[in-house]
Structure 1
Amino acid sequence: MITFERLIGKEIEPYVEQFAWFRLNDFKEFPYLYDGNLEHERENFQKYMDEEQSLLIVAKDGEKVIAVSTGIPFDSPFMGKESADLFLQNGLNPKDFYYFAETIILPEYRGQAIGRDLYKMKEDFAREMGYKEVCFIAVEREEDHPLRPDTYKSPKNFWGHLGYEKLDISVSFEYPTIQASGKTEMASNLMFFWKKKI
């Protein structure tokens, strides 16, 4: 039986290590191709605990953690100024938005509507906190990218089905990126924003 646990702010602490491993394993795959390290992931996620409206939803099959999903106010200092400025430049108020960060599901549990439930729970939380809209960013890779697996299925249709729309607002993040050669290099990665009114 799949169960869900909602944790806010400092309640997140017991899952810092597990969340870090989820990110490292999942984001190493296409399309993110992120080759990070555990210490950085731990430090990064611990910052969530300083934000009173940060959110972690954990899905479990019995005692086994099978999915994690996070959120944080878009105007949180943790998010940095660049994204907020981009929204202001495009006539959007950052304070109206709650930001959805990772949603990671173990491969063997995908296709069971767990992702849909996680998004709904995050939308419900954002609504409870008084937000009018939610948003997230997703990396964009070219169709003929050499590391794109033949079996890769873009989540764009899933997001569209949930009511999210892709914005013409993008940002680039530099991080250790796996190259076609198999080597890891610091590279800029283009990401686009998606949003939904709630």
Structure 2
Amino acid sequence: MSQPAIERLTGARMLEVLPDLARLRIEVFREFPYLYEGSQDYEERYMRSYAENPDAVVIGCSVDGRLVGAATALPLKGEPESVRQPLADAGYDVDRIFYFGESVLEKPYRGRGIGVRFFQEREAAARESGRYTHAVFCAVVRPDDHPARRNYQPLDRFWHKRGFARIEGLNCWFSWKDVGDGEETRKPMAYWIKAL
């Protein structure tokens, strides 16, 4: 197996890999805890918003030229109000927060330090700008007795090792259709934060 290559994807290169970014999001987020029923068309449109934002960062992981993982980030002000407002209401300066979107990686490449690199590269991008004091991401909250939870290993320990802490009692809400469901439902998303 070839060695994975990590790179910041910008401009034409980022546009070139949009279909692969969409595929990765659908594949990885189909797993618990997200159970996301995605579509290629929606995902490509969503990822295009990163390509069009000059302050957005996409970190790609490729093996033999094929994208096997990616992580995204952008200024929090580029996210919807539903994501920004709970933090603003809690007293955070949302103009100084860099928001970490997804971090997706095909199963064969997990446990090899790539996830750590994804966090390091996004934090480096935030620090290089000189504008951000914190990094934040959201993680879905599912009940402990959810029927699809079997064999799931929470990532809380991994996130703590990266220096992030959950902001207790503060959530935002995202809606999507779970695998096998006929309609979208709202899910609570917990904030995790780190001072840069």
Alpha-carbon contact 2:17-2:67 (below 8 Å) kept: no
Q: Which amino acid aligns with 1:38?
A: Q
Q: Which amino acid aligns with 1:145?
A: H
Q: Which amino acid aligns with 1:110?
A: R
Q: Which amino acid aligns with 1:186?
A: E
TM-score normalised by structure 1 residue count: 0.92
Alpha-carbon contact 1:138-1:191 (below 8 Å) kept: yes
Residue 37 of structure 2 corresponds to 35
Alignment gaps of 5+ in structure 2: none
Residue 177 of structure 2 corresponds to 176
Mapped partners of 2:116, 2:47: distance in 1: 23
Deviation of the 1:119 alpha carbon:
0.5
Residue 163 of structure 1 corresponds to 163
Mapped partners of 2:12, 2:97: distance in 1: 21
Give 3-state SS (helix, strand or coil) of 2:148's partner: coil
Identity of counterpart residues, as a percentage? 27
Alpha-carbon contact 1:123-1:134 (below 8 Å) kept: yes
Structure 1 pair 183/85, CA: closer, same or farther in 2 (3 Å)?
closer
Q: Which amino acid aligns with 1:196?
A: K
TM-superposition CA deviations, 1:49-99 (whole Å, max 9, x none)? 2211111111122223221111111012xx111222211110101111111
* Count of residues paired in the alignment: 192
Misfit runs of 4+, over 3 Å: 8-11
Q: Which amino acid aligns with 2:176?
A: Y
Whether 2:194 is the aligned partner of 1:191: answer no
Residue 58 of structure 1 corresponds to 60
TM-score normalised by structure 2 residue count: 0.93
Whether 2:104 is the aligned partner of 1:104: answer yes
Alpha-carbon contact 1:9-1:53 (below 8 Å) kept: no
Whether 2:84 is the aligned partner of 1:84: answer yes
Whether 2:143 is the aligned partner of 1:142: answer yes
Deviation of the 1:11 alpha carbon:
4.7
Alpha-carbon contact 2:82-2:173 (below 8 Å) kept: no
Q: Which amino acid aligns with 1:192?
A: A
Residue 93 of structure 1 corresponds to 93
TM-superposition CA deviations, 1:21-55 (whole Å, max 9, x none)? 00111111100011021111111111112211111
Alpha-carbon contact 1:9-1:54 (below 8 Å) kept: no
Mapped partners of 1:50, 1:61: distance in 2: 25
Give 3-state SS (helix, strand or coil) of 1:118's partner: helix
